[in-house]
Structure formats: C-alpha cells, structure tokens
Amino acid sequence: MIQNQNTKQMISFYPGPSKIYPQVREFMLEAYDSGILSSNHRSTEFISLSEETISLMKEKLNIPQDYTVFYTSSATECWEIIGQSFISLNSFHIYNGAFGKKWLDYRNRLNPNSSGHSFGIDEIINLEKTPFSTTTEVLCLTQNETSNGTQVSNTILTEIRQKFQESIICIDATSSMGGVVLEWENADIWLASVQKCFGLPAGMGLMICSPKAIKKAIKFGHNQHYNSLSFMTEKMQDFQTTITPNVLNVFLLNRVLKTIPNISEIHQKLKARKEVFLSLCEEKKLFQLSENEATLSDTVFAIKGTPEEIEKLKSEAKKKGILFGNGYGKWKNTSFRIANFPALENAEWGKLYSFFKNV
Ligand SMILES: *Cc1c(COP(=O)(O)O)cnc(C)c1O
C-alpha cells in the first residue's frame, strides 16, 4: 500500500470531506495515463468502466443483483431526485438532526405535501409514538446523522419496512454507506456521496434503488427533469448517465472497490475502533452528544464541550497533526466531530488514542 507522500499533511478526522484512501494518488495517475479522462461518456471505454464499477459495488457492499446503482453529483442531488420523481406523493420525514431536517426543507420547497416528525438524539425511534401522516407514500429517514453522531439500527429499519410495506422508503446513508453493513431490502432508495466512507475526493453521489422504486418512478412518469428517476433509469440500462458524469470519480471508485475487502470486514474494523473509543471516553470523561449508547453512530462521533474547551482541544490536536471536525448545525459551537471512516488506518487511530490519553 502506498503511504502518504506528504508527511506534513494533517490526519483529517473530519467527517466529510475526509481523509481519502492513500492509494488514490496512484489511481489518479493511472486514470490519467489510461486515457479514460478524455473518453466520451457514451464510448465503450466508459460504458465498460461503469458496468464493472457497478458490479464491484454490488459485490463488495452485498447489494442485491436486482437493485439499480446510479451515479449522481451529490447526496443533496439525490434528495432532489427523490422529491421531483415522486412529487405527487405525500412525503413523510423522520429526523433528529441537521441533515434530516434539511432534506425535509428542500422537499417542502418543491411541494408542500410533505411533513415530518423530529425525535430526540437520545431516542430510539418508536413506531407506536411516531405521528405518521395517514398517507405515508414516501418515507424519508437519515440512517446516520452526521451532524450529531447518531444512527438508526438495522432492527428499527426492519420494523419500519414491515409497517410500511407499500411505501417507498428512502434512506440517507451518506456517512455510513461504504463503512457499515446495510440491509438493502429494508429500503427502496439509498443515497450517499463518495467523500465520506468511500474515502474519495468530493463530487459524486450514489443512489441505489429497489425494483419497486424503479417501477413506481416509471409508473408515475414524472420526467420533466434531466435527473428524473425514470429518465435516469432509461440511461442506466446501458450503464450510462443523463449528464456527463464525474468520470475520474467513477474510475477512482472502481479502483478503490477493487482494493477493499467485503463490507462485513470493513464494518468489523470500524466497530472494534468504536469499542476502544467508547472506553477511552469513559476513562477520560468525554461525552458524546447523545447519552444513549444504543443510538451512537459507528462512523461519526460527536463529542460535546464548552466552546472554550473545544477550541483548546482542537488547537492542541492540530499541533500533533490531528484535525478534528467542527460541530454542525445547532451543535456547531458545543461539539466537535471525529470520523471513524474506513480510509483512516488503525495506526492513525492509534495517534488519536495517544493524544487523548495525554490530555
Ligand atoms: C454530507 C451529507 C449530506 C450532503 O452530502 P453532499 O455530497 O454534500 O450533497 C447529506 N446527508 C448526510 C447525512 C451527510 O452526511
């Protein structure tokens, strides 16, 4: 494995954009040398790269063969695709943080036939107590809330799937896809972007759809937009996109997928680091925003403190070459965040532990 060439570079624990896989340097040179970056996106060169990349996605992330993988430009674009492709349907959002809230806000701007319910960051979603709208046709939820370091478990997602069998369930897994095992059958549309757990440069999103989502998008036939799901599906039959895609990022994703192990192995590594981190927190009296361990994310940790404490810790860490992520949304000044993403190596986590051991 290629080591970081620039030893002066800080180790970024920012939860997105975050540390990219060190192999990306070589892959960028390979992309340049291969000529793919000058190829037309309707050419056989691009189409075979795209086809192989999608098959690697399915293999490494255990995605069912009958799900469709799309390249988009960002996770935010995926919110928009879902909103306009199912514009006539009632949309219900369950959220506990800034990203989930933003998704609802954007949906509301397209069409106000949407509503939501916010739950507490210590709370496990309780389906009995959630005031769903009577016609929940599209159900949106953030699996890993990057703004506050909480996650929704597979168990809850399974319960939701069972309760809403007819609905189109959409899950934002931007900061967990590529890092944790997701049970794909629990939802119809999964979305993410590559600058988080995929360890790639920013500028591309991924959307993974069940056969039901595709069928419904075609049935409703909303196709006024370049990125309407029905139109995207048509192009994806030949592994193509409606726009000129981010060919470099498709290439880098392809090469990264070839080098990483299966998602279950990656998830094990992240869970092991989380365990160590949780005991370190206990020892050093560090507290996460959520006080309920059952809600804590596997991939993003949000530590709370006073603005002064946080500033001090951040600047001391910086001297040791460690970059923490700022707080986000309403927790901006009262927390800082640490990414537990796969591209971070265990040795880098070791540096983080020794930093905390010595403060
Ligand atoms: C980062 C993030 C987004 C936004 O991703 P973009 O690629 O900037 O559009 C959306 N949702 C969640 C949960 C995120 O962490």
pLDDT at 6 over 60: no
Separation between Cα atoms, residue 24 and residue 80, nearest integer Å: 29
Instruction: Tell me how long the chain is.
Output: 359
Do the Cβ atoms of 125 and 265 come closer than 8 Å?
no
197-254 residue pLDDT tens? 999 999 999 999 999 999 999 999 999 999 999 999 999 999 999 999 999 999 999 9
Kindly report the CA angle at 21 between 47 and 287, in degrees rounded to 5? 125
User: What's the confidence (pLDDT) of residue 135?
Assistant: 85
Q: Report the run of H or E that residue 356 belongs to, with start and end.
A: helix 346-357
User: What's the confidence (pLDDT) of residue 263?
Assistant: 98
Average pLDDT over residues 295-320: 96
Q: How far is the CA of 81 from the centre of ligand 1 (A)?
A: 14
Average pLDDT over residues 296-309: 97
Q: Please give the DSSP secondary-structure letter assigned to residue 151.
A: E
Q: Please give the DSSP secondary-structure letter assigned to residue 20.
A: P
pLDDT at 5 over 80: no
Pocket test for ligand 1, best of 77, 99, 148 (most atoms within 8 A of CB): 99
316-341 residue pLDDT tens? 999 999 999 999 999 999 999 999 99
> pTM of the full predicted structure?
0.96
State the closest ligand 1 atom to the C-alpha of 147, by its place in the atom list counted from 1. Answer: 15
Pocket test for ligand 1, best of 193, 196, 227, 337 (most atoms within 8 A of CB): 193
Spatial CA neighbour of 340 closest among 2, 18, 103: 18
Do strands 205-209 and 68-72 pair parallel, antiparallel, or not at all (unpaired)? Answer: antiparallel
User: What's the confidence (pLDDT) of residue 1?
Assistant: 46
User: What's the confidence (pLDDT) of residue 47?
Assistant: 98
Q: How far is the CA of 284 from the centre of ligand 1 (A)?
A: 31
Separation between Cα atoms, residue 94 and residue 255, nearest integer Å: 35
Q: How far is the CA of 173 from the centre of ligand 1 (A)?
A: 9
Separation between Cα atoms, residue 336 and residue 328, nearest integer Å: 8
168-194 residue pLDDT tens? 999 999 999 999 999 999 999 999 999
Q: How far is the CA of 141 from the centre of ligand 1 (A)?
A: 13
**Helix/strand/coil percent split, the chain, to 5:** 45, 15, 40
What's the mean pLDDT when you consider all of the chain? 95
Helices (H), 185-244: 211-220, 229-236
Percentage above 70 pLDDT, the chain: 98
Average pLDDT over residues 264-283: 97
In DSSP terms, which residues pair with 92 in a beta bridge? 115, 139
Q: What are phi and psi of 71, to 5 degrees?
A: -95, 135
Residues with CB under 6 A from ligand 1: 16, 74-76, 99, 142, 146, 172, 174-175, 193, 205
159-175 residue pLDDT tens? 999 999 999 999 999 99
pLDDT at 2 over 80: no
8 falls in which pLDDT band (50, 70, 90)?
A: low
State the closest ligand 1 atom to the C-alpha of 146, by its place in the atom list counted from 1. Answer: 15
103-128 residue pLDDT tens? 999 999 999 999 999 999 999 999 99
Average pLDDT over residues 22-41: 97
Look up residue 22 and give its amino acid.
P
